[in-house]
């Protein structure tokens, strides 16, 4: 009697907050990953990071991303400004999410028409560069109901949260847990290492794992080296590296 075949397992290496301002942080890490072999990455690109990094003003950066596309990487839309410039929070819960949890939850409080305007502007910025785009990830993964309604009306294939990818336009949830560090202080980095190690053990049998990296991670040697070690270990365990789009394309439709 033939033994049951093990399900294929994958990993997705995802670079958040990609912009001309953050590329110097990422560059040494990307070069180290490239040295490991053919490992496709998903780059979450911000069209005008913090209102000071409009893509059209940085042709060399855009050419670098075009070379990444030619290698088999994926570019996804990651907000528009990656900055929460909406009206001040009105409730304690909103204050926590927008001022303590993060200051960059750009799409947390947007009405549908506001979200649509920024999403369409982001898609136009990609189109201006001739870049294909299948996915949108909200900064800090925070999406208002208005944002969700806007996404249902756009030609995008997926969005995501820390635990799931969502197939659009119907928001079908697919398990794809993610590892992420909070690297803004030494105690956060220490706690992040412990939590991520625990999550790696907990999700050892998961069909897919996402590694969600941020520029601040790259500014700390222990965080940067942690991600390289974790990536190497997961590859040695037999996980296949895929972009988010490539992984989603393999998932069965309900």
Specify the pLDDT at position 198: 95
User: Within a domain: residue 48?
Assistant: yes
Instruction: Quote the pLDDT of residue 241.
Output: 98
- Residue 137 DSSP class: -
The per-residue pLDDT for 184 is: 83
Per-residue pLDDT at 6: 60
Asked whether residue 22 is assigned to any structural domain, the reply reads: yes
Length of the chain: 254
Q: What is the mean pLDDT of each run of 10 residues along the chain (254 residues)?
A: 62 97 98 97 96 94 98 97 67 49 72 95 97 96 94 97 96 96 88 93 94 96 96 96 97 84
Q: Look at residue 102 and tell me if it is in a domain.
A: yes
Residue 2 in any domain: the answer is no
Which pLDDT score, from 0 to 100, does residue 3 have? 47
Q: Which of 46, 44, 40 is nearest to 13 (CA)?
A: 40
* pLDDT score, position 187: 85
CATH number at residue 153: 3.20.20.370
User: CA 162, CA 141: separation in Å to the nearest integer?
Assistant: 7
Residue 3 lies in a domain: no
Query: What distances in angstroms separate CA 150 from CA 86, 133, 199, one per listed residue?
Result: 18, 16, 33
Q: Please give the Cα distance from 234 to 10 (Å, whole number).
A: 9
Print the domain residue range for 86: 10-249
Report how many domains make up the chain. 1
The pLDDT score that the predictor gives to residue 100 is 43
Q: Is 254 within a domain?
A: no
**Do the domain assignments include residue 4?**
no
CB-CB contact of 213 with 15 (8 Å): yes
Residue 69 in 3-state DSSP?
A: helix
Domain presence at residue 235? yes
Please give the pLDDT value at position 199.
94
């Amino acid at each position: 009697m033939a033994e049951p075949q093990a399900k294929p397992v994958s990993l997705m290496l995802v670079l958040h907050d990609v912009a001309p301002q953050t590329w110097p942080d990422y560059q040494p890490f990307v070069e180290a990953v490239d040295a490991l072999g053919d490992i496709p990455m998903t780059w979450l690109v911000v069209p005008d990071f913090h209102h000071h990094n409009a893509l059209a003003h940085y042709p060399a950066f855009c050419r670098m991303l075009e070379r990444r596309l030619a290698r088999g990487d994926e570019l996804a839309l990651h907000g528009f400004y990656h900055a929460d410039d909406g009206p001040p929070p009105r409730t304690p819960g909103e204050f926590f999410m927008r001022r303590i949890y993060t200051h960059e939850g750009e799409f947390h409080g947007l009405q549908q028409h506001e979200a649509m305007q920024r999403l369409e502007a982001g898609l136009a910025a990609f189109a201006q560069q001739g870049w294909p785009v299948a996915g949108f990830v909200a900064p800090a993964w925070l999406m208002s109901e208005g944002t969700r309604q806007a996404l249902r009306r756009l030609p995008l294939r997926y969005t995501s949260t820390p635990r799931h990818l969502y197939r659009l336009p119907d928001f079908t949830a697919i398990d794809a847990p993610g590892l992420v560090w909070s690297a803004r202080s030494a105690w956060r980095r220490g706690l992040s290492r412990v939590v991520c190690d625990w999550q790696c053990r907990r999700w050892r049998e998961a069909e897919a794992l996402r590694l969600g990296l941020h520029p601040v991670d790259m500014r700390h040697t222990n965080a940067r080296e942690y991600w390289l070690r974790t990536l190497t270990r997961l590859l040695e365990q037999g996980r296949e590296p895929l972009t988010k789009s490539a992984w989603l394309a393999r998932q069965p439709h309900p």
